[in-house]
Amino acid sequence: MTTLIVDSACDLPKSLIEKAHIRLLPATIIYDKQSIQDQRDPETTIEIYASGALGKGHSSETAPTSAREIERILQALIDAGETDLVIQTVNRVRSPTYENAVEAVSRITKRHTNKALSVRLQDSRTIFTGQAVLAAHTIALINKGVSGTKLRRVIDLLSSKVHAYQVPKDVYYLRARARKKGDNSISWLGAVLGRMLQISPIVLALDDQTFPVTKIRGFNRAAETLFKHTIEQVNKGLLSPFVGVSYAGNPKELNTLPGFVELKRAVKAKKYQLIVSPMSLSGGVNLGPGTLSVAFATEPYQW
């Protein structure tokens, strides 16, 4: 049986992770001089968002899973009898996790040359809810008996077609985080005006690229626009039956956003599956509390 391993930036609910026996590569979250490993525990995640520790006026950072830690996790799985491992990471442009995994896999495979062992590493080419869609699709294929080269080929093809959208709640926060990483694409003036005018961008991550597709005045209106857009794509038909939604806060608050209830109905009517979870703490640190993310897989199109 193939074992799927994802990093903790993948916005899957804990219940699905446990049911599908998915293993985690936990990132380290550093905030207010504290550090924890993100194990995607919903109660802990929601508590940290509710505390305001990731908000303005607080210092927060993320650190990817190191090569040595990934190697330790893989070795523990092998020691437990696992011989077919598939690792999917957040896209390599956004995080060094993939490169750390390359190093770890190299050491592991050299150590076990005489063993019937398969370790496949995949760059998901996506982030957050996009990773969730890809992981859920992977598990569905594994449950149907798909494995090896065929599994990798199907998922590699799908990964370039996963559309992962984000609606940050605070453009000023987003600019401050981007500047820490040397990204000056959001100007100071643009961030200030964005906050004053309550402008919310809708940002798309697709095939290792991230770019804004539109700007809407008001977070709730932007969320409604994204939900309506997703409903249109759902009704047209998707390449995967999974739609991911995450929120950098308590997911119960999604029910107060216009368009979310209608999205749930549309997904159910198509007999697709809606995957809802708190956004990873890595996502919250980089995009800000209150950020909404929605993902689905379809052929590339113009917004």
User: What are the start-end ranges of the H helices in 112-199?
Assistant: 129-143, 148-159, 171-180, 188-196
pLDDT digits (tens, 9 = 90+) for 253-302: 999 999 999 999 999 999 999 999 999 999 999 888 999 999 999 999 99
Residue the block writes with tokens 């699709």: 137
Instruction: Provide the terminal-to-terminal Cα distance of the chain, rounded to the nearest Å.
Output: 39
User: Using alpha carbons only, how large is the chain's radius of gyration in Å?
Assistant: 19
Residue ranges matching CATH 3.40.50.10170 in the chain: 3-159
Fold of 3-159: Rossmann fold (3.40.50)
Of 188-192, 197-201, 217-221, which has the strongest mean pLDDT? 217-221
Predicted local confidence at residue 211, as pLDDT: 87
Residue 196, pLDDT > 80, answer: no
Long-range contacts from 152-156, C-beta under 8 angstroms, 24+ separation: 152/86, 152/120, 152/122, 155/88, 155/122, 156/122
Is residue 19 a contact partner of residue 262, using CB atoms and an 8 Å limit? no
pLDDT digits (tens, 9 = 90+) for 101-126: 999 999 999 998 877 899 999 999 99
* pTM, full prediction: 0.93
- The CATH number fitting domain 162-297, selected from 3.20.20.140, 3.30.1180.10, 3.40.800.10, 3.40.50.300: 3.30.1180.10
3-state secondary structure 108-135: HHHHCCCCCCEEEEEECCCCCHHHHHHH
Angle at 299 between CA 295 and CA 302, to 5 degrees: 85
pLDDT digits (tens, 9 = 90+) for 150-184: 999 999 999 999 999 999 988 766 656 555 554 44
Residue ranges matching CATH 3.30.1180.10 in the chain: 162-297
Q: Are strands 28-31 and 34-37 parallel, antiparallel or unpaired?
A: antiparallel
The residue length of the chain stands at 303
C-alpha neighbours within 13 Å on the C-beta side of residue 137 = 30
Averaged pLDDT of the chain: 91
Q: Which two tokens stand for residue 215?
A: 């700007």
Q: Could you say which DSSP state residue 89 is in? A: E
Q: Are strands 292-297 and 242-247 parallel, antiparallel or unpaired?
A: antiparallel
Predicted local confidence at residue 173, as pLDDT: 63
